[in-house]
Amino acid sequence: MSELLSLSALGLMLSLFLGLLRVLIGPGAGDRMLATQLIGTAGVGILLTLSLLHDQPALIDVALLLALLAAVAAAAFTGQQETRHD
């Protein structure tokens, strides 16, 4: 069973690597941000798998924080305009 877990961690890392190619290629900022979200989701999957593989429940907390902060990063990207009213 632990072999399956390490194999799935490898598979997720492969998926992350493919997303990495998209981050590096682009061509637009949106594509790169999109691939960053993929890296975030794959990272969450990897952390969850590693948490059960190495029996470290704290890594689930790391995965939760990673998911939340990836959302914050996407929010920062949106290009909300600053205002100078009043």
Partner 1 sequence: MNTASLLVFDGLLLLSIVSLAWASLATRDERRSVILFMAFGLVLAMAWGRLLAPDVALAEAAIGAGLSGALLLAAVRKQPRPLSSGSTRGSRYLDGAQVRTVSRWGVTLLCAALAGALAWALLHAFNNAPQDALHRSISANLEASGVSNPVTAVLLNFRAYDTLLELAVLLTAVLGIISLGQTTTGYTPAGPVFEGLVRWLVPILILTAGYLLWVGAHAPGGAFQAGATLAAAGVVLRLAGRRIIGLPDGFMLRIVMVAGIGVFLLVGLTVLVLGRPFLDYPPAWAGALILMIETAAMLSIAATLLLAFVGGQPRSMPARAVANQQHEEMS
Partner 2 sequence: MINLLSSILILAGLFFYLAGSIGLLRLPDLYTRLHALTKADNLGLGLLAAGLALYSQHPLTALKLLLVWLAVLAASAASAHLIARQARRQETRP
Binding site for partner 2 (CB under 8 A): 1, 4-5, 8, 11-12, 14-16, 18-19, 21-22, 28-31, 33-35, 37-38, 41-42, 44-45, 48-49, 52, 57, 60, 63-64, 67-68, 70-71, 74-75, 77-79
14 contacts partner 1 (rule: CB under 8 A): yes
- Interacting residues of 5 by C-beta distance below 8 A, sequence separation 6+: 49, 52, 53
Cβ atoms within 10 Å of 53's Cβ, excluding its own: 17
Distance (Å, whole) CA 84 – CA 79:
16
Output phi, psi for 84, to 5 deg.
-125, 25
Please give the helix or strand (H or E) that residue 67 lies within, else none: helix 58-77
- Binding footprint of partner 1 on the chain (CB under 8 A): 2-3, 6-7, 9-10, 13-14, 16-17, 20, 23-24, 26, 29, 32-33, 35-36, 39-40, 43, 46-47, 50-51, 54, 56-59, 61-62, 64-66, 68-73, 75-86
